[in-house]
Amino acid sequence: MILDCDFNSGHFSDTDKVFCLKERICCNKLFEKINPSGKVIMKEFGTVKDEKVYLFTLANKNGMSVDLSTLGATITAIRVPDKDGKTVDVAQGYTSADCYTDYPVGHAGGTIGPCANKIDYGTFELNGQKYELEKNKDNGRTHCHGASEGFDIKNWKYDFVKNGMKFTYVKKDGEGNFPGNVTVDVTYILTDDNELKIVYEAETDKDTVLNLTNHSYFNLDGEENAEENSVLNHKVQLPASSEYTVNSTVAVPTGELKNVKNTPFDFRQPAVIKDRINQDDEQLKIGAGFDQNYCIDGYDGKKLITVAKVVSEKTGIELDVKTNLPGFQFYTANHLGKPTQPLGKSGKRYQKRSSLCVEPQFYPNAINMNDFEKPILKKGEKYNRTIIYSFETEK
């Protein structure tokens, strides 16, 4: 069904809605459109601060599909065929927008910003001016993931692009106490090679700090495997990381880089998570499991490097992660399982170590560390970074 409509308008007219409802006989305001690349399904996902939140479903010719929400430019589902041809949703997520705003859900699938990960003491200095941020972690010591002004709880504007969607958010100068009016675009492209490409672009009218990532929680056995430790049978390889940043007791880098050799953090060759996660290591104790920033060998800010390969023996699904960012957080969801969390899509509460995250980023607290590349976006420059999640299935 092709409707005569303006795909660049960012909304649908009431006439379009009535026509779609009549044709599809839907009671949940499900709309179907044809964008330049194929089918996009759109539906209402809730309301936040009197603004409607929308959910889009992209699909490719291989049976892979992705759900994207305007709230937080968030990935809420990734469905891929397993080795038996069954469709498996490999990304944890929730069924409505209020689950993401009213409860702690660990930023599931969201676009993280203005600055991903932690800033120690919630302060930084830029161009001779000191900035004080909200301290939302570690008993009021650190700022993390944008705190209450994080990008993952903002309702973004949307537009259709070839093979995907583009989401736009304009951060006002002083919002969250970060400087600059910053226009941020996050574009998701789903290819017929089963790649979900995420492109981050931004411009500012004042020098600022910007460190963007995606915070998807993956379980390649299927998101319904929500039990504690259900991700520990996954096999992980981090082929481009010979070093990691050593953490303080509040999981902020001390500035020391340590070689992974002879440590539980050595995943240069594939290893099963359960064989490493409970080893007697002070850094594992600090993170209550894997929650570490890895450095990427060969990083130059331009070329895309494969930084992670994750495999489920049960489904045969493999996730590969590529990026042109300098590091990534490898996290085994050690702090999920709070009783205040809403139930996930399958009606189960996600427990700790029921998933894992690979979050490409600038190093945590890099803005305050002289030896780390600083995540500074200057006026007149353009921020352009990429993350690619790609999927293969072993037959």
Residue 22, C-beta contacts closer than 8 angstroms, at least 6 positions apart: none
In whole numbers, what is the pLDDT of the chain averaged over residues? 91
Q: Which two tokens stand for residue 297?
A: 């060998």
Asked if 325 contacts 305 with a C-beta cutoff of 8 angstroms, the reply is: no
Catalytic residue of the set 145, 215, 234, 318:
215
Q: pLDDT at position 394, please?
A: 85
Q: Which amino acid is at 67?
A: D
Is it the case that residue 1 has pLDDT exceeding 50? no
Q: Cα–Cα distance between 337 and 14 in angstroms, integer?
A: 41
Q: Give the residue from 243, 255, 254, 265 showing the smallest Cα distance to 331.
A: 265
Active site residue 215: yes
Torsion angles phi and psi, residue 313, rounded to 5: -70, -30
Q: Which two tokens stand for residue 110?
A: 């969201």
Each residue's pLDDT tens digit, 15-58: 333 223 223 323 234 444 444 445 689 999 999 999 999 999 99
Asked if 186 contacts 154 with a C-beta cutoff of 8 angstroms, the reply is: no
Q: Which two tokens stand for residue 254?
A: 């001390």
Q: pLDDT at position 102, please?
A: 86
pTM metric for this prediction: 0.92
Residue 342: count of CB within 10 angstroms of its CB: 16
CA distances, 245 to each of 260, 349, 366, 385 (Å)? 10, 32, 11, 21
Each residue's pLDDT tens digit, 220-242: 999 999 999 999 999 999 999 99
What number is the average pLDDT over the span 200-229? 98
Each residue's pLDDT tens digit, 95-117: 999 999 988 899 999 999 999 99
Least confident of 3-17, 133-147, 341-355: 3-17
Q: Cα–Cα distance between 305 and 322 in angstroms, integer?
A: 5
Asked if 222 contacts 92 with a C-beta cutoff of 8 angstroms, the reply is: no
Percent of the chain, pLDDT > 90? 88
Q: pLDDT at position 38, please?
A: 56
Q: Give the residue from 75, 356, 65, 328 showing the smallest Cα distance to 218.
A: 356
Q: pLDDT at position 31, please?
A: 43
Catalytic residue of the set 223, 243, 318, 359:
359
Q: Cα–Cα distance between 153 and 363 in angstroms, integer?
A: 22
Is it the case that residue 340 has pLDDT exceeding 50? yes
Q: pLDDT at position 103, please?
A: 84
Q: Cα–Cα distance between 169 and 178 in angstroms, integer?
A: 15
Strand partners, 118: 144
For residue 211, give the DSSP letter: B
Q: Give the dihedral of Cα atoms 293, 298, 303, 309; nearest 10 deg.
A: -50
Active site residue 335: no
The residue ranges of every structural domain in the chain are: 36-393
The fold for domain 36-393 equals Beta-galactosidase; Chain A, domain 5 (2.70.98)
Is it the case that residue 80 has pLDDT exceeding 70? yes
